[in-house]
Amino acid sequence: MDIRDEHYNLGEWNQLIESCLSDPDSEPLLNLERDENPVYDAIFVGGGAGGRFGSAYMKAMGGRSLIIDAWPFLGGSCPHQACVPHHLFSEAAEELDRMKWFSDELFFPKFDPSRASILALVKLFLAGRGSAHAFMNWQTKEQLDVEFVLNAHATIVDRNTVAAAGRTFTARNLVLGMGARPVLPDIPGLDLEGVYDFVSLVEELDYEPTRCVIIGGSKVAMEYGSFFQATGCDTTIVSRSQLMRTKALHHVDEDLRQYVVEGMRKRGMTIIDQAVPVSVNGVDGRVSSVTVRLSTGEETTLDTDFVFLGTGERPTVAQAREALGIEVGPTGRVAVNKRMQTSVPGVYAIGDMIDGPMEMFKARKSGVTAARNIMGEDLEFDYTEFPDFFHTTYEVTWVGLTEAEARERFDDVIIIQMPPTVEGLDTPNLPLPCAEGTMLYAFSKPELSGFQKLVVDGASRKVVGAHHVGYGAKDAFQYLDHLIHSPDGLTIDTLGWMNELFLNPEHFIQLSRLRAGNQTLRDL
C-alpha cells in the first residue's frame, strides 16, 4: 500500500496501525520516493529507536535512508512493550505506594487494595499505546521525511541488498537494528499458563494475579516487581545475585543500594537472593508454585499464580549471522567498533544488538553514529560511561563513581550527602532531603524521603559521582553526566556557583556551596 501521498493525522495513523496489527494478511505500508531502483546510502533493518534516529539523522545530513520494519509502526519495542509501559506502571506504583502510606491520613482515603489492578493498568496501556505509534509514524514521514517500508519482514540478501514487501532494495550500507528478545532461564515449566515476561505481560495477561514470583534480579525484575507489589500482588524476587550487584549494573553505590533494597522490603516484598530457580510447577496447565534452591543448598517451594521472568534479553542475530556471517561476541551480541561497524564492511549494528546497556540513549546514539560515519564523518561513540536509572516506587538515578570506587582511585574523597551519616543525630526523623514528590513524606514519614550523595575528589575538587533516590532528579542527571564527563569536569566550585531552583530534588548545588569556601574540602 503506497502511502507516499497520504498525509494522515494522528487519528488516521492510529486506525491504520491498529488495522495492520489485527490483520495478519494486511499489506505493507510503503512511503517511498518515486524514482526507480534507487541506491540508498543505508537501509536500516529495523525501525526501532536506533533505526529511526539514525535514518532521520542521515536524511537531515542530506543522505538517503530507508527503514524496513516488521511492525506497522516506527519506534520499536519502547512504546510497544518496554520503556513506555514501564514508565506508566512505575508511575502507578509510586502513586499507589503513596496512597498506601497515607491511607486514611490527611486527604487520602482509606486505601482499598481491591481497586488496584495489574490487569487494568495493562489494559490502559494497550488502549493508549497506538497514539505514540501514530505520532512516530507521522513525525518520521511528515517532519523527518524518511522513507520507510513498514508491516513487512526484511530478508537480508547480501550486504547491499534487502528484500521486503515483494521488492528488493539496494544500499551502499546496511544498519542492523533488529533488537532483542527476553531470555528464558533453562528450567522446566515455563510453558505453563501464568508465566510472563515484560513482552507477554502487555500482550497476553488475561487475569488478575494475586501472588507473584519473579525470577531474575535485573532492572526489569525490580521495576515490575515494585509495581506488582504496589498493586497488592504479594511479590517475591528470586535472584542469583544480590539485587543491584549484577554485572549489568555498574557504579552502584552501596549506601544507595541499601536504601533502595531496604525500601523494597519496607513495602512488603520478599527478596531471596543468591538462590537458584529449579522449576516452575503447575496444576492443570497453570502455574501453581516455583521451586527454588536457597544459598544454604536447601530447596523451598513458593506458591504463586503468577511468574514473571526478569532474566535479561538477548539480541536477534540469527539472520544477520546466516546471511552476512557477522561476528558475534561471547555474550551473544554483535561485535562492533566505536563506529558501530561490524566485522563485515559496510554493515553496521546498533541498539540492543550490540554490547552496552540496553538503554535508549545507546540505541539512538548508536544509530546516529552509524549514520554519521556512513555520511563521511569520523565519529566514535563510547558508551562505557553513562548516567543510569531505574524505578522501584522511587526514581533511582546515578552517574560516575561510587564512594568505594572513588576511594580506590583517589586519596582524598569528600562525601556530601543527605541525610548525613552522623551518629546520634537521629537521621531517620530528619525530613531531608525533600522537594517535589517527597514533601508529604518529609512531613509525615521522614525516613521515606530519599537519599542523595555527591562524591568529590578533594585534590582536584571535581565531582566524580552523584547518586539519588527520590523523585524529580532523573532529568537533571542527563546534564550532570555531561558536566562530569566534560573535558574540564565539574568542580564543586562551579557547581556551588550555579543558580538552584529551591527546593530542588537533589540538593547538590547548595550543599556544595556550603563547602566550596574550604581550601581543604571536608565531608558534609
Task: Restricting to residues 211-230, name those near its own copies by CB under 8 A.
Answer: none
In the bound state with its own copies, the residue whose beta carbon lies nearer, of 341 and 452, is 452
Q: Are 313 and 182 in contact (CB under 8 A)?
A: yes
What is the DSSP pairing of strand 174-176 with strand 42-45? parallel
Using the rule CB under 8 A, give the single segment among 209-217, 304-312, 328-336, 504-512 that binds its own copies. 504-512
Q: Select the residue interacting with its own copies from 163, 335, 404, 432 (CB under 8 A).
A: 432
Among 64, 333, 365, 462, binds its own copies (CB under 8 A): 365
272 vs 509, which CB is nearer to its own copies? 509
Binding window for its own copies (CB under 8 A); candidates: 3-11, 20-28, 257-265, 290-298: 3-11
Among 252, 264, 414, 442, interactor with its own copies by CB under 8 A: 442
Site stretch for its own copies (CB under 8 A), options 101-109, 279-287, 316-324, 336-344? 101-109
**Binding status of residue 244 toward its own copies by CB under 8 A:** no
Considering only residues 59 through 88, tell me which ones interact with its own copies, judged by CB under 8 A.
59-62, 78, 83-84, 87-88
**Residue 90 C-alpha from the chain's centroid:** 12
- Residue selected from 305, 473, 491, 512 as contacting its own copies according to rule CB under 8 A: 473
From the CB of 353, what's the least distance to its own copies, in Å? Answer: 18
Distance separating alpha carbons of residues 115 and 60, to the nearest angstrom = 48
Instruction: Based on the shown chain and the rule CB under 8 A, indicate whether residue 128 belongs to the binding site for its own copies.
Output: yes
Q: Which is nearer to its own copies, 182 or 470 (CB)?
A: 470
Q: Min. distance of Cβ 389 from its own copies in angstroms?
A: 5
Shortest separation between residue 130's beta carbon and its own copies, angstroms: 10
Q: Binding of its own copies at residue 238 (CB under 8 A)?
A: no
In this structure, the dihedral spanned by the alpha carbons of residues 214, 219, 224 and 227, taken in order and rounded to 10 degrees, is 120
Q: Which is nearer to its own copies, 253 or 388 (CB)?
A: 388
Distance CA 457, CA 464 (A): 7
Among 2, 39, 322, 443, interactor with its own copies by CB under 8 A: 443
> Which are the catalytic amino acids?
74, 78, 83, 133, 502
Of 213, 466, 505, 512, the one binding its own copies (CB under 8 A) is: 505
Of 57, 101, 228, 410, which lies in the binding site for its own copies, with binding defined by CB under 8 A?
Answer: 57
Among the listed residues 471, 491, 492, 512, the single contact to its own copies using CB under 8 A:
471
Count residues binding its own copies (CB under 8 A).
116
Q: What are phi and psi of 144, to 5 degrees?
A: -105, -15
**Contact criterion met (CB below 8 Å) for 228 and 235:** yes
Task: Kindly provide the b/e burial profile for residues 2-32, where b requires at least 16 CB atoms within 10 angstroms of the residue's own CB.
Answer: ebeeeebeeeebbebbeebbeeeeeebbbbb
125: cell is: 496501556
- The residue among 84, 87, 85, 82 whose CA lies nearest residue 391 is 87
Of 70, 108, 274, 335, the one binding its own copies by CB under 8 A = 108
Beta bridge partners of 40: 171
Q: How many angstroms separate the CA atoms of 517 and 508, rounded?
A: 15
In the numeric block, which cell numbers belong to residue 130? 497506538
Interacting span for its own copies (CB under 8 A) from 15-23, 163-171, 266-274, 389-397: 389-397
Residues in Cβ contact with 271 at an 8 Å cutoff, skipping those fewer than 6 apart: 236, 237, 239, 243, 261, 264, 265
| Beta-bridge partners for 156 | 162
Determine the interface stretch with its own copies among 164-172, 205-213, 328-336, 360-368 (rule: CB under 8 A). Answer: 360-368
* Residue whose C-alpha is closest to residue 354's, from 330, 331, 382, 334: 334
Strand partners, 497: none
Which candidate, 396, 258, 194, places its Cα nearest to that of 215?
194
